Amino acid sequence: MVDLALQFGGDLGVGPTGDLALADMGALTQQRVLRRLLTNPGDYIWQLSYGAGLGQFVGQPDAPAAIAGVARAQLLREVQVAASPPPAVTAVAARDGTVTATLSYADTATGQVSTLSFSV
């Protein structure tokens, strides 16, 4: 399946010929994972339980375990993320208070293991 290239919080991408850019399966799964993790529960009115709301942890350097738990639970709800092998999530607090989350998951469509890392 191919879809438009759209990172969470960004604009639609422009392709090499000036039309809308498309996301391949790996990029599409990454887009879906980021959207799920960064959407607040209750904000998606058609599915109120959708979203991890990781933004609520901004400024909470003592929350790595909670971040990892919420992210892992939401990854298991994402259709494009394989349940086996289970997704691995680590969250580590830095001295400056930022928490870096690293996710490793298998894409159900391609079978490839992908890693995604970002700061909360």
Distance, CA of 78 to CA of 57 (rounded, Å): 21
Query: Is-cis flag, bond preceding 85, omega within 30?
Result: yes
pTM of structure: 0.78
Which tens digit of pLDDT belongs to each residue from 56-104?
888 887 899 999 999 999 999 999 999 999 999 999 998 888 899 999 9
Q: What are residue 107's DSSP bridge partners?
A: 81
Report the pLDDT averaged over residues 10-37: 76
Structural domains in the chain, sorted by start: 3-119 (3.10.450.40)
Is the confidence at residue 48, as pLDDT, over 80?
A: yes
The shares of helix, strand and coil residues in the chain, as percent rounded to the nearest 5, are: 25, 25, 50
Distance, CA of 55 to CA of 67 (rounded, Å): 10
CA distance readout (Å), 63 to 5, 18, 39, 45 = 31, 43, 18, 27
Using an 8 Å Cβ cutoff, are 101 and 89 in contact? yes
